[in-house]
Amino acid sequence: MPLLLQGARQVGKTWLMKEFGKNEYKNVVYVNFEENRTVSEYFKDDISPIHIIKSLETQYKTKIDPYDTLILFDEVQESERALNSLKYFNENAPEYHIIAAGSFLGIAMHGGFPVGKVDRITLFPLSFNEFLTGTGNEQYHEHLVNCDFDLIRMMSKDYEKLLKTYFLVGGMPKAVALYDLNKDINEVRAIQKTILEDYKDDFSKHISPVNSPKVEIIWNSIPIHLSKEKKKFIYKEIKLGARSYAYEDAMNWLFNTRIVYKVPRVTDNKLPLASSVDIHEAFKLYMLDVGLFAAKAELDTAVLYKNDPALYGNFNGALTEQFVLSELITSGFTPYYWGREKGEAEVDFVFQWKNEIIPVEAKSGLNKKSKSLNIYRELYKPKHAIRTTLNNFGKYDELYSIPLFMMGCLDKILSL
């Protein structure tokens, strides 16, 4: 089947499929529907594979051999007919190799999505482990992947410094590439600001004038909500008198772009977790990347290296939660958070692993106090529970104390 590569803007979709084509095929035909509006005309009336192949051969003056040529449809959300054509390539011409890439939002808005006719892969920002390999720290990556606890313990200060760097750089490919080149956090921050401005431009470009200001208000409020002790998203805190129904369309638009993650609350410990989602729709809101989050909050790039939590207060916990959330998602888990109705106890994240529900308390330092996690364990007696830390790895009474920099290795750790 044709492959559809999805992801938020600027996570590297275009580079990745071009690099794959360059390394694996004799010939690549690259079509960008945003830059080349003329090509969209080929799909206007006839979207049969024969017609499209002949049109592309004429336009790009090349022979498209079905087995030696990779066809790339970039920004495919700009042409609904091109997106629909993937169905007919699957049914009538499966010998042609096609990758289509597009933003989540644009694809979701098209009614004629070829359900069941394409394979799909979602691309995320680089995880911490991928950041290590992308910045010349392959050996540190290997130690993590191999769960070599003795070596990791010896190098814990190195890992802590690398993690703090990742908190600032994040996993957006341009930011990581620039950091790898110059090791200059201030240059990275300039790239991140540009990405944030590009996202902001999308607000006015792709949505109605009515909802655009609402989207921006929600977007700008994320650092404020996450820096609170209780991080539940509350509409009336973003604007005086705000109500959920008035902001629902704006929130859904922002969520569909995948530049934010919406983490719903569950009130029970039942499988599947989705069956226990709070009917009042309590949720927390995060950004897609910890580096962009730090940039949006204008966190001083020198603060994290000073080892003085007083300099950034509760925001330290916000960075930690944002990081843990991103690591869970890129590891393939679907995170929720657990909380009681009256809010007297709240566990940062819970997720399904095999046939278990695993609670996670995201701690940013050496503090071992976990009141809410203890309440949860007392109530539900989970087989495994996780508390993140900057201490070394440890396990006591089914409670895993996991260094933050090892969060990308959860599946392997839980299987030990």
- Position 281, amino acid: E
CA distance 173 to 193: 14
- 252 pLDDT higher than 90: no
- Residue carrying the six token digits 């004629």: 112
Average pLDDT over residues 32-45: 87
Q: Which of 2-11, 175-184, 303-312 has the lowest mean pLDDT?
A: 303-312
111-121: per-residue pLDDT in tens? 556 778 899 99
- Residue carrying the six token digits 């529907």: 33
Average pLDDT over residues 66-82: 92
Q: Is 49 helix (H, G, I), strand (E, B) or coil?
A: helix
- Residue carrying the six token digits 């597009």: 102
- Region of residue 396 (phi > 0: left; psi between -120 and 50: alpha; otherwise: beta): beta
- 339 pLDDT higher than 80: yes
Q: Which domains does the chain have, with CATH numbers?
A: 3-122 (3.40.50.300), 128-414 (no CATH)
Q: How far is C-alpha 141 from the geometric centre of its chain's CA atoms?
A: 20
State residue 352's pLDDT score: 96
CA dihedral of residues 151, 153, 155, 161 (deg, nearest 10): 140
98-146: per-residue pLDDT in tens? 999 987 766 655 555 677 889 999 999 999 999 999 999 999 999 999 9
359-413: per-residue pLDDT in tens? 999 987 655 667 899 999 999 999 999 999 888 888 888 899 999 999 999 999 9
Torsion sign, CA atoms 294, 295, 300, 304:
positive
Average pLDDT over residues 43-53: 92
- 32 pLDDT higher than 90: yes
